Structure 1
Amino acid sequence: MKPNIAETWKHLFYLCSLLSAATVQAQHRDYPIQAVPFTNVKLNDGFWMPRIRINHTVTIPASFERCESTGRVKNFEMAAARSGKFCTVYPFDDTDIYKTIEGASFSLSLYPDKALESYIDTLIIKISNAQEPDGYLYTARTINPAEPHRWAGKERWEKERELSHELYNSGHLYEAAAAHYQATGKRSLLDIALKNADLVCAVFGPDKKHVAPGHEVIEMGLVKLYRITGAQKYLETAKYFIDERGHYSGYDATSKDPWKNGAYWQDHKPVVAQDEAIGHAVRAGYLYAAMADVAALTGDAAYLKAIDGIWDNVVSKKIYVQGGIGAIGDGERFGDNYQLPNATAYNETCAAIANVYWNYRMFMLHGHSRYMDILERSLYNGLISGVGLDGKSFFYTNAMEITKGEGHKDREVERSGWFPCSCCPTNVTRLIPSIGGYVYGKKDNDLFVNLFISSNATLQINKRDVSIIQENNYPWNGNLLFRIDPSAATPFALKLRIPGWAANEAVPSDLYRFAAPLQKKVEVKVNGKAVAYTVNNGYATISRTWKKGDVVEMVLPMEVRKIVANPEVKDDLGRMALQRGPLVYCAEWPDNNGMVSNIIVPADASFTTEARPDLLNGITILKTEASAVIIDSASNTVSTQRQPFTAIPYYAWAHRGKGEMMIWLPTSVKQVTLISRE
């Protein structure tokens, strides 16, 4: 009789504990801080659970259906038959199936679903049948090796450094296989992945074929296979792929074109010599996450120094206020320092997801709240804006501003159900159900509380079981409650993150700052009594012997904060953005007389808040009075008039039709430019 999901997990954790004991000597090192697995954190959160549920009931089924209807599944069927013609657009379309399987596997551990599990099994059979005898798996070539996809080259991996995405496909296969094995205990997809990984390890290496993967992700995937199997070759090959960057003689090092000098692929110089985020933002984020993995597992100090410097560069010069990265649409890439245009902002959803992966790893390396501050900013704003409230419409890019002014070409935006390149929708399916895995971290006798999400978590501290229950209405309310329930009295340090926005730090740099400081300090109580706490690396630390029934309360001041940008960000001069709690707000046309490009919000405006459970699945809006510039074409006059102003959370925009939206709001009239428009 097949065990249920809960039983499978018990067996799996037992096997993993044995594996960990067997491989600890081989691994030697790991992250100083360990994540508490998402399966140990049972969410009941009013903000996140509806999203996780709709991801299971709508997003994942819609993604699989679109993989069927667009021919992605058919590509595997034709590869199995070794006959036909690759029928989708890109050679990396295989990964949409892998990523959706990964997300569905995470979701199965939350919502056991026999029909979904059975469907995944059928897909895995098709994937297995498409795999070549030596482990090679790439439908864009296997269907017809004589005429592979034009990006692929005539021989295997011939164009891997540039366009083929063969190793990128493998990386997403490995990540899906790890998730599927952990969620179900089945080896079916894992065995396919290991067979492919064994081929990759046999082909590539210092004394073998040399290449730096054109699109990173295989490095992260290989690390996951290493963690599951303890096989050193997977970790060594991951490190090899990272170290291979910057050593290719085929680039023109004198060229400023990132495609010609290798910068587009982060291949312009060795990774340990890189100190600036450059090139394609998603590839970069995956590379930096993989460097963190390998640094943790090997103790490579040069890797650590490099990603520390790159992180500083991103946070001080290349991140948008809503957590988006990758400002430039031409190449989906980072721009120059402080190049953060609003009208043409790109902000790919996948880049926000990569930013979450990277920043959580940086937290596990360093134990500082600043990394979780950036993760939270991306998660609550620039990431979930990429999926509609209906769970089946998406943004590939996430705009900062939609107006009808000069230079905007009357740009209007609405979410789409699918894209020819649908990396973002399928990436969302795998991130959303894993949210619980970012809530806590543990190091020896320290328990880090990173995200404020209503949940019940179980873990071990000092070899004793400890339950921690969160009860809150975050992000709408800053009153947080934690019930600590150890099996027996247990000493440990509870480390509660004090978000930067609650400590007068918009971001951990001078890129953005709050216009005025908070007057209130974060309050902490234990069993109803206020306690003095020390702040270590951004965490309110309470060290004591915890007993069954202990209750901790933390109150975060939820004021409306006005943000101003560094003067080097020219597009934001004379403007302000609005934030309340972790949420960045925007002005959208339906709430502001049909347009927002004519609105001026004074720098000294006072805001009120209003809970609107009837609007956009329940939000809190910001309200004040603003000035609107009114043009009377009949009399050829320009005037201003006072009118109500409303702002909504950025993630919720673009659900009420096409129209204007703006994050950075002008605070005064500097000049009026007259233009002729036909």
Structure 2
Amino acid sequence: MKKILLLLGVCVATTTLGQVKDYPFKAVSFTAVRVTDSFWLPRLRINHMVTIPASFERCESTGRVRNFEMAAAHSGKFCTTFPFDDTDIYKTIEGASFSLSLFPDKKLSAYIDSLIIKIGKAQEPDGYLYTARTINPASPHEWAGTERWIKERELSHELYNAGHLYEAAFAHYYATGKRSLLDIALKNADLVCSVFGPDKKHVAPGHEIVEMGLVKLYRITGKKEYLETAKFFISERGHYMGYDTNSKDPWKSGAYWQDNKPVTEQYEAEGHAVRAGYLYAAMADVAALTGDEGLLHAIDTIWMNMVSKKMYVQGGLGAVPSGERFGDNYELPNATAYNETCASIASVYWNYRMFLLHGDSKYMDILEKTLYNGLISGLGLDGKSFFYSNAMEIKNSFSHKNLEPERSGWFDCSCCPTNLTRLIPSIPGYVYAQKDDNIYVNLFIASNATLTLQNRAVNIEQQNSYPWDGDLVFKISPEKTPAAFNLLIRIPGWAQNEAVPLDLYKFTTSSDKKPVIKVNGQPVEYEMKKGYASLTRTWKKNDRVEVLLPMEVRKIKANEMIKDDIGKVALQRGPVIYCGEWVDNNGKTSNIIIPYDAVFTSAYEPGMLNGVEVINSNVPVVVIDESGQTVSTVQRKFTAIPYYAWANRGKGEMMVWFPGKINDIDLLTDRPVSNTISK
């Protein structure tokens, strides 16, 4: 079997073409990093023991597996809701394959094999694989169209299904060495390449991911048609004549699908946030592998727009529920925030690729913010309950009659739960990267890793209690000593008075506390290179590097163009964004005021929410007397928890942004308020 280096969906492989171009910064395989971390290791285990089995069970109980069985028999009726329900099985196989590399499991491996047999039997002789049509071609799903591919641009998701098949096949092949799913994927990819191309059928896939999947198959096989077709699908965007490109309606203009302009003329994050993130990640892949400067310039510009104008403070993307999409610049409302979990996952894929292109810590800063906040908030602490969208506030007053969110075990459209199964076990692969004689430390996860640098093995052991504690220890042990190389440790923006790159969010005050680095107990001076502290030396066995990051509670203010956040503050400690939840604050959070001069303390609570650092203060809260005639403020204890941990103790109010003073009060009538929520 050809040797493959896999990293979190960004992979570097030796191919038969002898590739010249690729990402200048190289990922380090997640299998090279053995996690011992008290924050992430339990999550990796829960994913393996709870989330993946629950996902497979729900694929069985909801009929997703049955769809493949009926497709193989060419008999029955498609029995789930959406034509892309096939992908829930593919995504869970991908996650399970990653997890098998971390936790060998014969029973799980055998079950995956049984599913792959069913998938293979459902595949048509020419490679077509799409149960929503194959079960009964004479009466396919209403989104599918009467013929193959004719509704691909808008509804059918045929190529979306194919993309997740390719992603799963890559992971399964890498984890197990088996070709069973890979051969199914290659047969399908050969069909796709025979159908679509410059002198063949033209379409821009309605829901991107096939482009990323084709790139992965290219890395395995070296077959240039896969890379060429990925690039073709990207270049097809913006050439369809059936849209009204002057329309402000994103569906009518094609913006919803990122299809209103050629990608090299798109300079703003727009449309469905998940589709957009997958597109931008694929553009990075193709730019790296082909040297396409136009694609590179476009995604650089789009990234700047997203980070400076369209990202929530916890890293969430997609402000508008209608279409699960980006809004206008600075359109980041709290009461109606959408923040689909899948969009955060797409953001991680995209930002890591941006780092691999440029080697700048700002991309890892956004990845870290997303990972510790807006992404894992989508997964309940039990490992089997989920948020599809991730709210920014929940108010239960007469004037703000919101639904009280409750995590769900499954959804009709269950893309987010199954997407989490594949993201979580790949996290160790984001820790390190390499270039020439440089080792980059990107994430702080207690672990033991062995890297190969210039044909020499280097062991790095991380010891820390991150994200709760900023004291980080790295033990460096080259296999052959002495060994000269550069160790570049990311100094997070939040440790340098930068809430996020650019100016969408800022800390309200500047801290005079600076990161300190010691080598073998002695403080050292270090050079900063694109956000990394560069330590250049000849390393010996058991050299010890200590990095002391200031862990203060910081207040954040938003750019004044974000109307919902004017006069408000959010709270951050280390990489973690905090929120107030009803259960810790006398049943209510929408009445809390956090003045400019509020003083905070923090404490680790091991028995709370699986162990969290909480923030405490005494702040004014608005109270109304029993008669409803008098409004006043009283000082009360305020407790904030990490945003990711909310809604694990029942339903109630939650707030991320708190006013600094009282600006207005709603006066209510006694009329009854309907509990009906329109969607």
Structure 2 portions without partners, runs of 5+: 7-11, 673-679
How far, CA to CA, are the matches of 1:369 and 1:106 in structure 2?
Answer: 26
**Displacement after TM superposition at 1:517 (Å):** 1.1
1:433-582 equivalent positions in 2, closer than 5 A: 433-488=425-480, 489-582=482-575
Per the alignment, do residues 46 and 12 of structure 1 end up closer, same or farther by CA in structure 2, a change over 3 Å counting?
farther
Per the alignment, do residues 15 and 95 of structure 1 end up closer, same or farther by CA in structure 2, a change over 3 Å counting?
closer
Deviations 1:99-129 (A, max 9, x none): 0000000000000000000000000000000
**Which position in structure 1 is the counterpart of 2:3?**
13
How far, CA to CA, are the matches of 2:586 and 2:228 in structure 1?
Answer: 59
How far, CA to CA, are the matches of 2:368 and 2:16 in structure 1?
Answer: 33
**Which position in structure 1 is the counterpart of 2:667?**
674
8 Å contact 2:15–2:219 — kept in the other structure?
no
1:77-88 equivalent positions in 2, closer than 5 A: 77-88=69-80
TM-score by length of 2: 0.97
How far, CA to CA, are the matches of 1:474 and 1:14 in structure 2?
Answer: 31
How far, CA to CA, are the matches of 2:628 and 2:243 in structure 1?
Answer: 61
Per the alignment, do residues 479 and 142 of structure 1 end up closer, same or farther by CA in structure 2, a change over 3 Å counting?
same
Per the alignment, do residues 122 and 638 of structure 1 end up closer, same or farther by CA in structure 2, a change over 3 Å counting?
same
**Which position in structure 2 is the counterpart of 1:226?**
218
SS at match of 2:91: helix
Match for residue 210 of structure 1 among 185, 190, 202: 202
SS at match of 1:178: helix
Match for residue 588 of structure 2 among 595, 609, 612: 595
Aligned residues: 665
1:204-603 equivalent positions in 2, closer than 5 A: 204-405=196-397, 408-488=400-480, 489-603=482-596
SS at match of 1:392: coil
Tell me, yes or no, if structure 1 residue 664 matches structure 2 residue 657: yes
How far, CA to CA, are the matches of 2:326 and 2:188 in structure 1?
Answer: 32
How far, CA to CA, are the matches of 1:351 and 1:408 in structure 2?
Answer: 26
**Displacement after TM superposition at 1:615 (Å):** 0.3
**Displacement after TM superposition at 1:24 (Å):** 5.2
Q: Which amino acid counterpart does residue 607 of structure 2 have in structure 1?
A: D
Tell me, yes or no, if structure 1 residue 29 matches structure 2 residue 21: yes
**Which position in structure 2 is the counterpart of 1:8?**
none
How far, CA to CA, are the matches of 1:165 and 1:332 in structure 2?
Answer: 17
**Which position in structure 1 is the counterpart of 2:187?**
195
**Displacement after TM superposition at 1:610 (Å):** 1.1
How far, CA to CA, are the matches of 1:24 and 1:439 in structure 2?
Answer: 29
Deviations 1:278-317 (A, max 9, x none): 0000000000000000000000000000000000000000
Deviations 1:326-354 (A, max 9, x none): 01000000000000000000000000000
**Displacement after TM superposition at 1:242 (Å):** 0.1
How far, CA to CA, are the matches of 1:289 and 1:442 in structure 2?
Answer: 20
How far, CA to CA, are the matches of 1:448 and 1:638 in structure 2?
Answer: 55
8 Å contact 2:15–2:221 — kept in the other structure?
no
8 Å contact 1:462–1:490 — kept in the other structure?
no
How far, CA to CA, are the matches of 1:672 and 1:69 in structure 2?
Answer: 49
**Which position in structure 2 is the counterpart of 1:623?**
616
Per the alignment, do residues 635 and 409 of structure 1 end up closer, same or farther by CA in structure 2, a change over 3 Å counting?
closer
**Displacement after TM superposition at 1:459 (Å):** 1.1
Tell me, yes or no, if structure 1 residue 129 matches structure 2 residue 129: no
**Displacement after TM superposition at 1:28 (Å):** 1.4
Deviations 1:215-263 (A, max 9, x none): 0000000000000111111000000000000000111122211111110
TM-score by length of 1: 0.97
8 Å contact 1:31–1:365 — kept in the other structure?
yes
**Displacement after TM superposition at 1:15 (Å):** 10
| Identity, % of aligned positions | 70
Deviations 1:66-125 (A, max 9, x none): 000000000000000001100000000000000000000000000000000000000000
**Displacement after TM superposition at 1:410 (Å):** 3.4
Per the alignment, do residues 112 and 578 of structure 1 end up closer, same or farther by CA in structure 2, a change over 3 Å counting?
same
How far, CA to CA, are the matches of 1:530 and 1:15 in structure 2?
Answer: 36
Per the alignment, do residues 302 and 406 of structure 1 end up closer, same or farther by CA in structure 2, a change over 3 Å counting?
farther
How far, CA to CA, are the matches of 1:267 and 1:408 in structure 2?
Answer: 36
Deviations 1:124-181 (A, max 9, x none): 0000000000000000000000000000000000000000000000000000000000
Structure 1 portions without partners, runs of 5+: 1-10
**Displacement after TM superposition at 1:20 (Å):** 5.0
**Displacement after TM superposition at 1:545 (Å):** 1.1
Q: Which amino acid counterpart does residue 573 of structure 1 have in structure 2?
A: I
**Displacement after TM superposition at 1:549 (Å):** 1.2
**Displacement after TM superposition at 1:665 (Å):** 0.7
SS at match of 2:328: coil
8 Å contact 2:4–2:14 — kept in the other structure?
no
Q: Which amino acid counterpart does residue 619 of structure 1 have in structure 2?
A: V
Deviations 1:259-281 (A, max 9, x none): 11110000000000000000000
SS at match of 1:599: coil
How far, CA to CA, are the matches of 2:134 and 2:598 in structure 1?
Answer: 62
Q: Which amino acid counterpart does residue 622 of structure 2 have in structure 1?
A: V
How far, CA to CA, are the matches of 2:417 and 2:13 in structure 1?
Answer: 34
How far, CA to CA, are the matches of 2:318 and 2:183 in structure 1?
Answer: 36
8 Å contact 2:234–2:283 — kept in the other structure?
yes
**Displacement after TM superposition at 1:38 (Å):** 0.2
Deviations 1:627-662 (A, max 9, x none): 111111426111111110000000000011110000
Q: Which amino acid counterpart does residue 273 of structure 2 have in structure 1?
A: A
8 Å contact 1:55–1:391 — kept in the other structure?
yes
8 Å contact 2:29–2:429 — kept in the other structure?
yes
1:629-668 equivalent positions in 2, closer than 5 A: 629-634=622-627, 636-668=629-661
**Displacement after TM superposition at 1:411 (Å):** 2.1
8 Å contact 1:12–1:185 — kept in the other structure?
no
